[in-house]
Amino acid sequence: MLEDYDHHSEYYKPDVERSKTLEHDGNHYVAFLRFRRHKVITVVLNTTHDVHYFRDSPARAHSRSSATKISEVENTGKSDEREKALGKDGGFLWRMETWWRMEEKDGGVYIQSEVVSLTRDIPTGLGWMIGSFVSSIPKESLAFTMEATRKAVLAKKQSVGAN
C-alpha cells in the first residue's frame, strides 16, 4: 500500500491531492505528490520524492523518502497556475525526510513513521497570521497520515478477504 503511489491521492485525501509513480525499479521509487493543506490559508505544494524500501527480515521492513523537489503552487486550478520560484515562495516546506518502519507481529503490523520537515523563517509581520499554521502542521499531518494508512490497510485487507 505504501508503494502504491498512483493511489496515494485516494488513501491520503484531502492532504494529498494528486499522486503518481514517476519511476520504479525494484525497491526504488520516484514519486510525485501534490499536498494541499488548509488552515487559515491554503498552501499547495508539488513535491517529488526519492524512496527506497528495505526488507530487513521476513517480518520487518523500512523505507526512507527524501523530497528532492518542493515547489509552492500559486493560482491552483486556474489557467495561470504555476510553481513559484525557489526562494520566492512562502517557505512553508523546503526540506522533508521521512522514515517508515514496519513489523509484522501479534497478528498485525506495527508501523512507526518519523518525519523531519523544515520551513523557512516566517516573513516579518505575518507571524501572527501563519505562525500557528506552520508550527501545528507537522504534528497534525503525521497523525492524519498514520490514521489514513491504518484505514487504507484495513480497506485493502477487507477487499482481499472478500475476493
The predicted structure's pLDDT at residue 93: 83
Is residue 54 within 8 Å of residue 63, measured between CB atoms? yes
* Residue 10 CB neighbour total at 10 angstroms: 13
35 bridge partner residues: 16, 45
Positions in the chain short of pLDDT 70: 121-137, 163
66/79 Cα distance (integer angstroms): 30
Topology classification of domain 5-162: Alpha-D-Glucose-1,6-Bisphosphate; Chain A, domain 4 (3.30.530)
What are the pLDDT digits (tens) for 76-110?
A: 889 999 999 887 887 778 889 999 999 999 988 99
Cell of 106: 501479534
Q: Which secondary-structure segment (H or E) carries 129?
A: helix 127-162
Structural contact between residues 52 and 28, judged by C-beta atoms closer than 8 angstroms: yes
User: In a 3-state reduction of DSSP, which class is residue 13?
Assistant: coil
Backbone angles phi, psi at 59, to 5 degrees: -110, 0
- What's the pLDDT at 136? 65
Q: Model-level pTM?
A: 0.85
Question: Closest by alpha carbon to 72, among 59, 87, 60, 61?
Answer: 87
Q: How many CB atoms lie within 10 A of CB 45?
A: 24
**152 grid coordinates:** 487504507
